[in-house]
Structure 1
Amino acid sequence: MSQEQRDALDTIFRITPLEIGGDHVQQRKVFTDMLTGHPLPDDVILTPGKLGGVPVLELGIDGITPKGTLLMLHGGFYVFGSPLTSADLASNIARRTRMRVILVDYRLAPEHPYPAALDDALAAYRALLDDPELGDPAHITVVGESAGAGLAAALLIAAREQHLAMPGAGVLFSPYADLTLSGASMTSKAAADPSFRKEAIAVRAKDYAGSTDPANPLISPIFADLHSLPPLLIQVGSNEVLLDDAVRLAARAAEHDVPVTLEVTPGVPHLFQTFAAVLDEGEAALRRVADFLHAALPAMASR
């Protein structure tokens, strides 16, 4: 990506009408409008349904017979977002991995603080495991972006604690994994990050944690015991206030003997993979996701 492209993308982020710390009802609409303003490709097939009583949106690509399932959790600081706001990224992942994606419509804070989102994610995962056609854990990957990536990590921890079978792998895009906001990059990357301010994130962190200590490992997985989790791929951009969340989560996983790959792409913003159509770095990152899953999942090896 040229410096001109980086500057243009930075400008787009800085002039967005989204105010992370603003009125959550108003900002939900802004968030949704921002991320659903362009139609999905014609070959993307969306099928609403339920898993474990939780609303989900299954996404597939016309003409591709999937050889595995991605259970995906959307971003939005646990306050914004829906399966539709992640559908564009999900379709790009589905196309490159040749897997179906099931997007979980978990309940949002502040109306539904912790543990509502985790309960929903866990209910959907448990039901997926029980599905006779889709439930082979070796063919399942848990995926999340931003808050969804933190939730994906919490889901893996909770599933292990409840003695559920682990999925074949986990993919975490820019995980929001420390709601105590103690990472040094919250301040050191403030000028570089065009999207988020620590003060605004703090508002949303309080919405989700509610009366629970935000250092709870199922809220902030950087404080968790990560032993026995499946292989993880963690991707993050260097121009993110969440950089340290990703780095410390990867270090924690390595400390606990989890096979983990951390990729820090220089000079790119939060969830740069979303811009794969115009950013070489985004396209390359998604190719690496496909390569990672090809190595981690037996179903991928025979495609």
Structure 2
Amino acid sequence: MTEKNIEKDPIYKNKKTGDGGNSKFHNRDFTDSNVIRDFRNFLNEESNKLLKELKQEYSLKEIEIKGVPAVWIDTSNSNKNKGVIIYLHGGGYMSGNVKNYCTIPIQLSNAIGIKVLSVDYGLAPEDPFPKGLEDALNIYEYLLEEGYSSNNIAIAGDSAGGGLAVATVLKLRDLGLDLPAALGLFSPWVDLTLKGDTIETLKEYETILSKRQLEGSAKIYAGKEELDNPLISPIYANYKDFPPMMILAGSREVLLSDSMNLARKAALNNTTVNLIVWDNLYHVFAADSNLPESKEAIEALGVFLLEKMNYKI
């Protein structure tokens, strides 16, 4: 990532490397309701800025499915192929808004010609685990009931949403339901115990996350459950009979170990997994549509998903 890129990005503007993102949140207690409120407002503002910079026509149609709010994302190219991508946004399981945290699913829909259903799943502390997981399961089951084949459904997500995507498929597998064709994961947070090596080794390079932020988010999301519950921290699950996945990450994010360890565990269980790491880039960099690497990542995932959903590339 060039210095010019950093200056242009509204989320990372005027930040020093390693300050854990916006400095006013770096050392704050994310179990505090006032901090959560302030961070939600901050993320909402920054998401609006990124969305405003997106040079892409799109429409959002609000819908409620089995009591779960969601939005259908349509672009000029989204009806080229029949199928659906379920998208689960990031935000540490306690923030994020489907109406503006949507630059990745909009770009993805346009790139591969498939509609995206972005899920406004329950957030902690109001709705801790397992509410978000239950919401995602309800959305998937709804699509099956509507006549979509599991082979025409993929699940994607970023950060916490990436972890939730993996947990959703783990639960679907355990329930004996037909699994989606593939998963697409941007910087997935799959270890809420924070035992990954890069939590410490890359903290001086991290531009948005801090260990204290992650600890607080993990605590309020898990509630009374143990953090090593595989449906909370999917890194502790087994990946036997799991669908193909692509993982996309940056080399300068403290959650890089999560991506690497997930890829390793999946591969050791003979699951098809593609891990791509972009040098000198940060957590969920694909959200910034101005970056050439964002386009590269979206296109790479698009090719992967189309192939696994048996569509022409």
TM-score of the two chains, using structure 2 as the length reference: 0.90
Q: 1:82 aligns with which of 97, 107, 111?
A: 97
- 2:166 is equivalent to residue 153 of structure 1: yes
- The answer for the alignment partner of 2:61 in structure 1 is 47
The worse-fitting range, judged by mean Cα deviation, of 148-157 and 252-261 is 252-261
Match of 1:56 in 2: 70
Do structure 1's residue 2 and structure 2's residue 16 form an aligned pair? no
In the aligned structure 2, how far is the partner of 1:167 from the partner of 1:124? 12
1:240-255 paired onto structure 2 within 5 Å: 240-255=253-268
The letter for the 2-side match of 1:211 is K
Unpaired runs of at least 5, structure 1? none
Shift, 1:275, TM fit: 1.9
2:109 partner SS: helix
Q: In the alignment, does 2:197 pair up with 1:184?
A: yes
Aligned residues: 298
Instruction: Output the amino acid matched with 2:233.
Output: S
Give the counterpart letter for 2:224 in structure 1. Answer: S
Distance 1:151 1:13 in 2: 29
1:34 equivalent in alignment to 2:39: no
Percent of aligned positions with the same letter in both sequences? 31
Q: Name the structure 2 match of 1:202.
A: 215
- The alpha-carbon deviation at position 11 of structure 1 amounts to 4.1
Mark the runs of 5 or more structure 2 residues left unpaired by the alignment.
none
Residues 169 and 179 in structure 2, CA contact (< 8 A), matched pair in contact too: yes
CA contact (8 A) 2:77 2:114 kept: no
C-alpha RMSD of matched pairs (Å)? 1.9
What is the alpha-carbon distance in structure 1 between the residues aligned to residue 91 and residue 256 of structure 2? 17
Q: In the alignment, what sits opposite 2:131?
A: 116
Q: Indicate which of 206, 227, 248 corresponds to 1:214.
A: 227
The answer to whether residue 181 in structure 2 is matched with residue 168 in structure 1 is: yes
1-structure distance, mates of 2:72, 2:255: 29
**TM-score, L = length of structure 1:** 0.92
Secondary structure at the counterpart of residue 58 of structure 1: strand
In 2, Cα distance between equivalents of 1:17 and 1:93: 31
Give the superposition deviation at 1:43. 2.5
Contact 2:185/2:248 (<8 A) preserved: yes
**Contact between 1:53 and 1:124, CA under 8 Å: does it hold in 2?**
no
Cα separation, 1, equivalents of 2:297 and 2:24:
26
CA distance in 1, matches of 2:202, 2:160: 18
What is the alpha-carbon distance in structure 2 between the residues aligned to residue 26 and residue 186 of structure 1? 24
Paired residues of 1:145 and 1:174 also in contact (CA < 8 A): yes
